[in-house]
Structure 1
Amino acid sequence: MTLHRNVDTTLLLLTVSLTCIGVVMVYSSSAIMAAERFNDGFYFLKRQLFYALVGFIMMAVATYFNYNNWRKLAVISLLGSIVLLALLFIPGLGVRVGGAMRWLRIPGLTVQPAELVKLTLVLYLAHSLTRKKEKVRLLLKGYLPYMIVLCLLLGMLILQPDLGSAMIIAGVALSMLFVAGVRYRYIILTVLLTLPVVYFLVMQVEYRRRRIMAFVDPWADPFDTGFQIIQSMVAFGKGGILGQGLGIGEQKLFYLPEAHTDFIFSVIGEELGLVGVLVIAALFLMLVLCGIRIALHCPEPFGRNLAFGLSLLLGLEAFVNLAVCMGLLPTKGLALPFISYGGTSLVVSLVAVGILLNISNTLGAKK
């Protein structure tokens, strides 16, 4: 399917659909809470609409910005995102919310650097892997330099702390390296050496250990660590097959924490039921498959690496969020792309789709 200069309309319609669903669900899940806290039931809706407008404008720009030009910006954009991560630790600039320093206060807006890092790392890896070609199979000149960059980023994210984003970035980076031709034994060895570190970071930190215990048995502490996942399960249970109806859900009434952000999928499950859950999962699956299709049909290595990395990033974030809400993974503070409330996440996700659209546009123009 094509639309004006060979833009992939399937990918475009999927993105618009998910974003529109997100705007509706942000309002449904936040209106009462916003009225209580800010005396304005439209508080979060107005902001999400603004973020969506900015995101669609930037997506349109990315759609008609030749993807090969991103190679010139790959290194500098990654360095810029690292600087933003460092600025979080400067008093007065970093905003601490819920014990985590993940937001950077800039005059007029608040930015989450971790979301930018995800995009810029994919750009950098796509550029560097294309430049190195067969050298990526070498240990010293190919693999280790990427591990140094990755360790720097992961270390800064863990200091925030943001272990969820760190694991997403690690998963995307290692997958891109594997697809680009890095020897699988290097990756397996890296994972095995990392397991003790992950164990230490989780089990030796009180709140993370309690999250793992709550994941194993949430009913052991139903009013504290297990409260969030229990309320999420209750939401899905109340939803049944067809849901209680849009806007009628009860768990968002101060029962389910972070109902408009991390656990917005639980609100969807309660209000739109199993049907709504399956629709959202299907839309994400189709979106990722569209991205993978673009990668497979791209004859140029940079475009292929870039399309694969962006598709994997969006798909992995969506999968982890859905799994957390359904109690299949321990609780992590990760947004659901296109749907959760949040400006940086939404804008970055839309820019990622814009780049994918440009790659597909270029492919269509060459046919």
Structure 2
Amino acid sequence: MAAHDTATAPSAAAARTQRAPRRAHAVRTALTAWLGRPLASFHLVLAVFGLLTVLGLVMVLSASSVVSLNTPGSGLYTVFKKQLLYVLIGTVLFWIGLRVPLERIRAMSPTALAISILLLIAVLTPLGTTLNGTQSWFKFGPFSFQPVEVCKLALALWGAHVLVLKRAVLHRYRHLLVPVVPVALLMFALVMLQPDLGGTITLGVVLIALLWFAGAPLRLFGALALGGLAGVALLAVGTNYRLVRVLSFLSPEEDIKGTSYQALQAKLALADGGLFGRGLGQGSSKYSYLPNVHNDFIFALIGDELGFLGCGLVLGLFAMLAVVGMRIATRNIDPWVRMVAATLTVWLVAQAAINIGYVVGILPVTGITLPLISSGGTSIVVTMLVFGILANCARHEPEAVSALRSQGPGRFGKLMKLTAPEPYKPPKKRKPARPTTPPRGSSQRRGVPQAEPRKRAPERQGYSRAGGANLARQKTSRGNPRNSKGGRR
């Protein structure tokens, strides 16, 4: 009996060893088949968007309950109710960005850019409101509006439109830089006058992404990096509280209870969460230990309550967004859609990376929110609109267009009343203008050898050997240099 057990034990282990690669191969095959479906990119964008939105609402509810309770004259769910209202408004904008044809969005991009620049100018007038040391808000009762968020989207859409129109001449610096870079510098200047460091950085990310996907040379990005560092240094030194943030980042141990208190508490919250966290709603960092926990430092609360697994979920969702966004850009054939999808993806992922970077302590605090998760008004509304445009770009992949036009919009398309997108039609090439005949003798004056004149065929009527010989004799005499003026004839 013992011998039988010892004989069957290795065989069972060998069978399990053989089944493991088969299962992995089956999972890999099923995943590859699913990703090969026409609307896989569209469904992935919807999944990332829904998960980030739900996670953001849950974490804002958990983080803002104590803040709302400690605020005089507000209820327990005041911040959450406002966040829920912004999410509902953003859902409508998500539907609009998903349903409006991309051709119309592209046609409206110059108008959107002009309006956004006018809003940046208006916010610097007495119409704007100063909050946290920056005059970058319009206040409408209990609601506020920050125009720099709209400027990021307008710059991405309009910049892609201009660069695609000039793609045949982008190898020249004059066409590559003008007018995109001057307009972006104007927007930078208006945002720096507020002054808003976070808005300036994200606008710079949008500009760099546009030039990168337009194929700009690498030496241009070196010059832009030097200019960007100079602008960030100017903004940091220009205001006292930003200078304090930079100095506390460089030497965090000098003032633990003062300027470095917020960054230190964020690290402690991440450390206290451990692997699984304290539990949803059980984090201690929101009890006045970590200021602004529901806004800029909400990632620290995720680590406190959901642990390393919760932080990994957030990082995984934004990594999936990066992969899906670039997948949409590479699978489209419309150059404007390709550039827009890639630029919007870089913007969202870079903004999330900067926020997580200063929460964990590898970057100085800049006040940039975590997309779809941090509490905010204009930021979450514009971000949901960006996701709608990105999902619209996913529906314009050639395979998706073919499937939607042949098989119908599907359940989600019928629910959202989405029409089938039109297939991409490349613009018609203009016929080159007919070249004008150069003036007689111009090529000889410039030293260019003149083409041989066209020989005239002899007349068919009355043509004979003698006539042919006389014609050849006349040609020979015309080509003889001795028959020139003053020579022998």
Using structure 1 for the length normalisation, give the TM-score.
Answer: 0.94
Q: Distance in 2 between matches of 1:65 and 1:144?
A: 29
Checking the alignment, whether the CA contact within 8 Å between 1:143 and 1:182 is kept in structure 2 is: no
Cα separation, 2, equivalents of 1:306 and 1:330: 29
1:185–1:7: structure 2 CA closer, same or farther, 3 Å change rule? closer
**Alignment RMSD:** 2.0
What residue in structure 1 maps to residue 357 of structure 2?
323
Deviations 1:72-120 (A, max 9, x none): 11111011111111121222x3221111112112467311111111111
Deviation at 1:4, TM superposition (A): 11
- Which of 97, 101, 108 lines up with 1:66 in the alignment? 101
Q: Please, which moves more after superposition, 11-20 or 198-207?
A: 198-207
- In structure 1, what residue type is equivalent to 2:43? T
Is the CA contact 2:41–2:328 (under 8 Å) kept in the aligned structure 1?
A: no
Note if contact 1:5-1:365 (Cα within 8 Å) is conserved in structure 2.
Answer: no
The CA distance in 2 between the partners of 1:144 and 1:4, in whole Å, is: 38
Question: What code does the residue aligned with 1:76 have?
Answer: T
Q: Does 1:19 align with 2:46?
A: no
State which drifts further: 159-168 or 186-195.
Answer: 186-195
Secondary structure, counterpart of 1:96 in structure 2: strand
2:81 to 37, 46, 50: 46
Asked if 1:112 is matched to 2:146, the reply is yes
Q: How does 1:186-201 map to 2 (within 5 A)?
A: 186-201=220-235
Q: Find the partner of 2:297 among 239, 255, 263.
A: 263
User: Cα deviations across residues 169-195 of structure 1 (Å, max 9, x unaligned)?
Assistant: 112211221221222222322323444
Cα 1:351/1:305, change in 2 over 3 Å: same
Equivalent residues in 2 for 1:316-355, closer than 5 Å: 316-355=350-389
**Paired residues of 1:6 and 1:361 also in contact (CA < 8 A):** no
Report Cα offsets for 1:11-30 as digits up to 9, x if no partner: 10111110011011101001
Paired residue for 2:114? 79
Q: 1:343: Cα distance to partner?
A: 1.9
Specify whether residues 300 and 81 from structure 1 end up closer, same or farther in structure 2 by C-alpha distance, changes over 3 A only.
Answer: same
How has the CA–CA distance of structure 1 residues 366 and 180 changed in structure 2, closer, same or farther, with 3 Å as cutoff?
farther
Conservation of the 8 A alpha-carbon contact between 1:296 and 1:304: yes
Give the drift of 1:197. Answer: 4.1
**Structure 2 counterpart SS, 1:218:** coil
Of 112, 136, 142, the match for 2:176? 142
Give the equivalent residue in structure 1 for 2:347. Answer: 313
Residue 203 of structure 1, CA deviation: 4.0
The residue number in structure 2 matching 1:154 is 188
- Compared CA separation, residues 273 and 231, structure 1 to 2 (3 A): same
Matches within 5 A, 1:283-298: 283-298=317-332
Q: Is it true that 1:101 corresponds to 2:135 in the alignment? A: yes
**Runs of 5+ consecutive residues of structure 1 not aligned to the other structure:** none
Alpha carbons of 1:201 and 1:95: their partners in 2 closer, same or farther (altered >3 Å)? closer
- The residue correspondences of 1:156-305 to structure 2 (distance < 5 A) are 156-203=190-237, 205-305=239-339
Residue 204 of structure 1 and its aligned partner are, at CA, apart by 5.5
Residue by residue over 1:306-342, the C-alpha shift from the partner in whole angstroms, topping out at 9 and shown as x without a partner, is 1011111111111111111111100011111000111
> How many pairs were matched up?
366
Cα separation, 2, equivalents of 1:50 and 1:170: 30
The residue that corresponds to 2:456 in the other structure is none
1:1-40 pair list within 5 angstroms: 8-37=42-71, 38-40=73-75
188-197 vs 250-259, greater mean Cα deviation: 188-197
Residue identity opposite 1:279 in structure 2: L
| Contact 1:137–1:143 under 8 Å retained in 2 | no
Q: What is the identity, as a one-letter code, of the residue corresponding to 2:155?
A: L
Q: Which residue of 2 aligns with 1:56?
A: 91
State the alpha-carbon separation in 2 of the partners of residues 184 and 246 from structure 1: 46
- Structure 1 residue 140, shift from structure 2 partner: 2.1
Provide closer, same or farther for how the CA distance between residues 257 and 321 of structure 1 changes in structure 2, counting only shifts above 3 A: same
Say yes or no: does 1:356 pair with 2:390: yes
Secondary structure class of the residue paired with 2:93: helix
Tell me how far 1:283 sits from its aligned partner.
Answer: 0.6
Report the CA distance shift for 1:261/1:77 in structure 2 as closer, same or farther (over 3 A): same
Structure 2 unmatched runs, 5+ = 1-33, 404-489
For the 8 Å contact 1:168–1:313, the answer to whether it is kept is: yes
Aligned structure 1 segments of 4 or more residues deviating by more than 4 angstroms: 1-7
More deviation in 103-112 or 322-331?
103-112
- Which protein is richer in helix relative to its size? 1
Check conservation: 1:68, 1:303, Cα contact below 8 A.
no
Give the alignment's TM-score, normalised by structure 2: 0.72
Sequence identity, in percent? 33
